[in-house]
Amino acid sequence: MTAHDNRVPVTAHDNRVPVTAHDNRVPVTAHDGRVPVTARDGRVPAAGGPGPAAGRAGRVDGADGAATLTGIGVGPGDPELLTLRAARLLAEADVVFVPVLDRLAAAGDAPPGRAEATVAAHVAPDRLRRLPFALDDRGGVTARRERAWDEAARTVADAVDAGARAVVFATIGDPNVYSTFGYLAHGVRALRPAVEVRTVPGITAMQDLAARSGVPLCEGREPLTLLPATAGLALFADALAGPGTVVAYKGWRRHAELVAELRRQGRLADAVLGRGLGLPGERIGPVTDPADDLPYLSTLLVPARRDRRGGKL
């Protein structure tokens, strides 16, 4: 339905200044190497300080020189969908950790994960470090998962003990939406309570799919339901029966069940599937084949039923 060449150019609030370079990298333009953060009123904050709305989250250092651990959302895949704050904090970090599948890391031949590939343009290789996680474990809180969380937290604590002050963990989408970051932060807080934990929001796959397919997520009094297909079909069916938009993550292995439910509730024709958003081979379009072999990075969007403009106001 849509392709890379249909992307809307990204422009600043006043619509004047394009913020992307030809090579898709967010340029670091200020004299001090910081990407200027522009306030909603169009003012650029004084050099050295965070924007009026930035608060402490806009700073790379913690209070009184405390170390910080910042979970940075890097968007679903397209490096253009990185916020200016994310780009700046990545550039300023002492060390940037990225998740990698533990099995592949152990074998020593892990290809870069999605977060790593997205931030590669912003981080020198000597500041980039991989943290193994049991990303494909489906058994709940398994020993393998706990071991990886604990080891990852210890690795971050070691980096802090070795002098790192600005520690970053890059994660796909948003760090507060189904992200490993919460489990890592839990472990680091337990080991080093003085470390200040923060997050920088990222664009979710849900938002990217809505933008790319031209579907408003919610209007008027409509609710919006984001759910993991792994939580079971009943949750999906209940949400579909409601008045709002439904977005299903993690549906790749349950696609046939989801499609059957869409058909049962007469919602199949409107549903949109986004595979590998922002990645090579990306596909966005209607749901056609229930037997589709989907990649893990697939998102299903079922728009609310809308019969006229503003009908839900």
Ligand X SMILES: C[S@@+](CC[C@H](N)C(=O)[O-])C[C@H]1O[C@@H](n2cnc3c(N)ncnc32)[C@H](O)[C@@H]1O
Interacting residues toward ligand X by CB under 6 A: 76-77, 172-174, 177-179, 204-205, 249-250, 274, 276-279, 296-299
Return the number of the residue (67 or 203) whose C-beta is nearest ligand X. 203
Residue 25 structure tokens: 């990298």
User: Phi and psi (nearest 5°) for 179?
Assistant: -115, 150
Between 38 and 230, name the residue whose CB sits nearer to ligand X. Answer: 230
Closest contact distance (angstroms) between CB of 296 and ligand X is: 5
User: Minimum distance from CB of 48 to ligand X (Å)?
Assistant: 31
**158-to-39, 64, 71, 101, 145 alpha-carbon distances in Å:** 36, 20, 17, 21, 20
Judged by CB, which is closer to ligand X: 113, or 244?
A: 113
As measured in angstroms, the least distance from the Cβ of 281 to ligand X is 11
- Residue placing its CB nearer to ligand X in the complex, 146 or 161: 146
Residue number with the shortest CB distance to ligand X? 173
How far apart are CB 73 and ligand X at their closest, in Å?
6
Shortest gap between Cβ of 295 and ligand X (angstroms)?
A: 8
Nearer to ligand X, 113 or 173 (CB): 173
CB of 202 to ligand X, least distance (A): 6
| Tokens found for residue 245 | 């938009």
| Closer CB to ligand X, 81 or 157, in the complex | 81
CA-closest candidate to residue 2, choices 230, 186, 236, 276 = 276
Q: How far is the CB of 203 from ligand X (least distance, A)?
A: 8
| CA angle in degrees (0–180, nearest 5) for 197-203-234 | 95
Q: How far apart are CA 197 and CA 167, in angstroms?
A: 10
Nearer to ligand X, 218 or 279 (CB): 279
* CB of residue 99 to ligand X, shortest distance in Å: 10
Q: Which residues contact 58 (CB under 8 A, 6 or more apart)?
A: 37, 50, 51, 85
Which residue number, 68 or 179, has a Cβ lying nearer to ligand X?
179
* Joined tokens for residue 270: 């409107």
Q: Are 272 and 284 in contact, with CB atoms under 8 Å apart? A: yes
Nearer to ligand X, 59 or 299 (CB): 299
CB of residue 223 to ligand X, shortest distance in Å: 19
